[in-house]
């Protein structure tokens, strides 16, 4: 039998501790082995457990942001320092002040965060928490399985990269033909040299698109910092995130990178050098308005269980933009982005970079692009920003 996922719940409100405990234990093969009323108590219990039986340490701590004695951020930093094998997911109310703290937590090593449900009805609150926690717990359980001895692991049937066939790129500008009518043409790209070598790719982008999810906030900071200076093209980013939090993320990315990152607004011009981050809770698309591309947002149905969704933006670009597109898929759960990259590849000139498995918090979204041969380059997170800059500034 698979070892249950062991969870610690830390919250200063006894009612909420009990709600979270019941939610976690309602999920399959998961158990709450400890609770704590503040961060100091949690750290002490983790230390005692490590001394008594390290093999029974929690796999995951669900950590409240606002607590007395030792708050969530300080507790997270101590857990990451003393117990690095323990995953931490922050639990936060959806307030602007808490959003700022959550962004700091994600940058300091928290794996992800969930919001406390706004519903006053306990059953509805439990349903909302189950919806948010289930994929995270499933992910951490799979990571735990991957860490088991090799004889206990299932053998994946993933085709080696060397045997995959890339989807050819169009040799002419897109003519907005539907995917079903696409016929392969000769690739316009040759393989890229290493970062220290000469760039051998005949491709210069007119627009940069980035998609990310779990682990994305920290990854985005590293990518944007790697640019070195403002790009000569627009950048559109979709990070899976609920409302309120994306404004704080945009501010944090601006501080980290030294570039200006703006949360999307209706009618915003898509201009060279501008970096636009999709507003949480709304899909980001673009539309042509008097020969100028502008931001268009909507609250349409979730796509891939997400709003904003990467696929929605990418499909919008495919239908509205005829220039060269550089698509970057970073760490994240699920398959969001794969259909969008396919549409861009079939509809026009697109080069796709994916974050490699070793540097991903979650190798889900990049894997979904890699495994169907849509990634032109899979590289480490630390190199992606520099590679994007090389493509944008070559021959300039």
Q: Are 168 and 352 in contact (CB under 8 A)?
A: no
Q: Are 20 and 129 in contact (CB under 8 A)?
A: yes
C-alpha 309/C-alpha 301 separation (Å) is 10
Residues facing 263 on adjacent strands: 277
Of 11, 132, 336, 356, the active-site residue reads 336
Told to judge if 376 belongs to the known catalytic residues of this protein, a careful annotator would answer: no
Q: Given the DSSP bridges, would you call strands 207-212 and 60-64 parallel, antiparallel or unpaired? A: unpaired
Containing H/E element for 223?
A: helix 216-225
Q: Given the DSSP bridges, would you call strands 30-36 and 5-10 parallel, antiparallel or unpaired? A: parallel
C-alpha 240/C-alpha 279 separation (Å) is 9
Told to judge if 311 belongs to the known catalytic residues of this protein, a careful annotator would answer: no
Told to judge if 240 belongs to the known catalytic residues of this protein, a careful annotator would answer: yes
Of 92, 213, 368, 378, the active-site residue reads 213
Containing H/E element for 49?
A: helix 39-53
Using alpha carbons, select from 334, 368, 370 the residue that is nearest to residue 353.
Answer: 370
C-alpha 194/C-alpha 394 separation (Å) is 15
Of 59, 240, 283, 324, the active-site residue reads 240
Q: What is the set of active-site residues?
A: 213, 240, 336
């Amino acid at each position: 039998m698979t070892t249950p996922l062991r969870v610690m719940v830390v919250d200063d409100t006894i009612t909420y501790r009990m709600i979270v405990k019941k939610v976690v234990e309602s999920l399959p093969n998961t158990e709450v082995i400890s609770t704590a009323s503040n961060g100091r108590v949690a750290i002490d219990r983790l230390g005692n457990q490590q001394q008594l039986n390290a093999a029974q340490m929690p796999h995951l701590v669900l950590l409240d942001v606002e607590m007395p004695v030792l708050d969530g951020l300080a507790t997270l930093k101590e857990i990451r320092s003393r117990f690095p094998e323990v995953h931490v997911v922050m639990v936060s109310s959806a307030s602007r002040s808490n959003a700022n703290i959550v962004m700091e937590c994600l940058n300091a090593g928290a794996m992800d965060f969930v919001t406390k449900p706004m519903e006053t009805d306990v059953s509805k609150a439990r349903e909302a928490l189950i919806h948010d926690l289930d994929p995270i717990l499933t992910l951490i359980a799979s990571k735990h399985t991957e860490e088991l001895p090799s004889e206990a692991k299932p053998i994946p049937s993933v085709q080696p990269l060397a045997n995959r066939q890339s989807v050819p790129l169009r040799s002419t500008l897109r003519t907005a033909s539907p995917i079903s009518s696409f016929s392969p043409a000769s690739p316009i790209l040759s393989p890229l040299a290493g970062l220290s070598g000469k760039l051998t790719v005949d491709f210069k982008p007119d627009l940069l698109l980035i998609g990310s999810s779990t682990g994305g906030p920290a990854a985005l900071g590293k990518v944007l910092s790697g640019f070195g200076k403002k790009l000569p093209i627009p950048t559109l980013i979709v990070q899976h995130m609920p409302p309120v939090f994306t404004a704080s993320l945009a501010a944090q990315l601006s501080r980290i990178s030294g570039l200006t990152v703006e949360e999307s607004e209706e009618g915003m011009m898509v201009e060279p050098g501008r970096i636009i981050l999709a507003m949480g809770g709304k899909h980001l698309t673009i539309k042509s308005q008097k020969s100028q591309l502008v931001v268009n947002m909507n609250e349409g149905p979730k796509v891939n269980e997400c709003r904003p969704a990467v696929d929605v933006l990418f499909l919008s670009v495919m239908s509205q933009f005829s220039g060269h597109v550089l698509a970057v898929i970073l760490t994240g759960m699920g398959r969001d982005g794969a259909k969008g990259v396919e549409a861009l590849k079939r509809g026009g000139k697109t080069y796709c970079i994916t974050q490699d498995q070793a540097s991903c918090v979650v190798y889900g979204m990049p894997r979904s692009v890699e495994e169907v041969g849509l990634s032109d380059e899979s590289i480490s997170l630390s190199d992606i920003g520099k590679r994007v800059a090389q493509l944008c500034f070559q021959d300039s």
